[in-house]
Structure 1
Amino acid sequence: MLLVRRCLIAAVSGVLAALALKALPDVHLCTGVECIFVGVLVGPLLLFGAALLAWALMALARIRPSWPVALGGPVVLLALLTTVLDLAEVSFLMFSVAVAGCYALAALVTADELPRAWRVALGAPVVVLFGWGVVLPIVL
C-alpha cells in the first residue's frame, strides 16, 4: 500500500510541476539568436525548477526519500521525449499523462520496498532510451 501511495503522490507532484510550467507566461524567446539562450540556459533552469517544485511537494507529502524521485522523473521524461514522444505533436493532456507516468516510474525505481532485481528491470529501459536519445546524439 505504501508503494502505491508513493507512486500516486509522485505522479501528482509531477503533474502539478508541469502545470506550474504551463502557467508561466508565453514569451517568444526563440526568435533568431535567442534560441541558443533558450536551449542552453532557460530550458535546463525551467526543468530544474519543476523538479525542485516536485521535490518540495513530495517532501510535504512525506515521501522519503523524495530527492531521487525528483531527479529521476525529469531524466525518465527526457528519455521519453527524445525517443518516443514528439513534443510538438503532443497535447498538454498527453504530456501531463507522460509526466505522471515518468514520476511514478521514478518512484518505483527508487523505492526500497521493491527487490533490487525489479528496480533494475524497471530502470534498464530508461537507461537504454536515455543513451539512445540523449547521449548518442551528443557523441555523434
Structure 2
Amino acid sequence: MLAGVDTGKVSISPAAEGRLAERAVAAAFAGTILILVPLGVLLLLAALSDDSRCGHFGCVGLLADAWKVGSWAAIVLAWPLLHLFRVRPAWPVAVLAPFFLVPIWELAEMPLSVMAGTFAYPLAALVSSPRLSWRRRSLVLALFLIFCVVLALS
C-alpha cells in the first residue's frame, strides 16, 4: 500500500461498534414499545364501540381500521420515543423505519405483523448509521429483501 493513498475502506473501532450495537438495541426496544400504541388504540376503540352498530359480523372492520390508525400513529410517535431512548440521530431512523414496517405489515401473518417494530427499527438504525460502510448497509438491505421474498412466497 502506498503512503498517503486512501483506499476508501472505513474501519470501525470497537467503541463505535459498541455504540452501533447500543443504538440497534435501543431502537429495538423503542419498536417493541411502539407495538403498544396500535394495541392501545384497538383496545380503546373496542371498549368505546357500540355493539349495536357492528352488525352481524361484529366489529371486525372497525377493529381493523383501529389497528391501521394505531399503526400509523406509532410511526408518528417514533421520533420522540427514539430520541428518549438516546438513538442519535433519531430522525433518520424514524423516517426509514416505515420502509421496513410496511412490507412486513403487508406480507406477514398477524403475530409477525404485530412484532414488526421490533425488527424494523433496528434495521433502520443500522442502515442510517453514520459510521457504517455502504457494503454493510447494502448487506442489511439485501437480507431484508430476501426476508420479504420468503414472506411473499410463504
How has the CA–CA distance of structure 1 residues 81 and 52 changed in structure 2, closer, same or farther, with 3 Å as cutoff? closer
Unmatched 5+ stretches in structure 1: 134-140
In structure 1, what residue type is equivalent to 2:29? V
- Of 28, 31, 34 in structure 2, the residue corresponding to residue 14 of structure 1 is 31
Are the equivalent residues in 2 in contact too, given 1:10–1:107 (CA < 8 A)? Answer: yes
**Does residue 48 of the first structure (1) align with residue 57 of the second (2)?**
no
**Structure 1 counterpart of 2:61:** 30
CA drift at 1:64:
1.9
Q: Does 1:81 align with 2:112?
A: no
Q: Which residue of 2 aligns with 1:124?
A: 142
| Selected match of 1:102 from 108, 114, 120 | 120
Structure 2: distance between partners of 1:23 and 1:120: 35
How far apart in 1 are the matches of 2:114 and 2:70?
16
Who wins on radius of gyration, i.e. which is larger?
Answer: 2
Structure 1 vs Structure 2 CA RMSD: 3.1
* Cα distance in 2, alignment partners of residues 71 and 49 from structure 1: 14
Indicate whether 1:57 and 2:81 are aligned.
Answer: yes
Q: Percent identity?
A: 26
CA contact (8 A) 1:7 1:104 kept: yes
Which amino acid is 1:99 matched to? G
Q: How many residues align?
A: 119
TM-score (norm 2): 0.62
Runs (5+) with no aligned partner, structure 2: 1-17, 47-58
Deviations 1:94-133 (A, max 9, x none): 833x421221111111111211111022123546749x97
1:29 to partner: Cα distance: 6.9
Cα separation, 1, equivalents of 2:60 and 2:95: 26
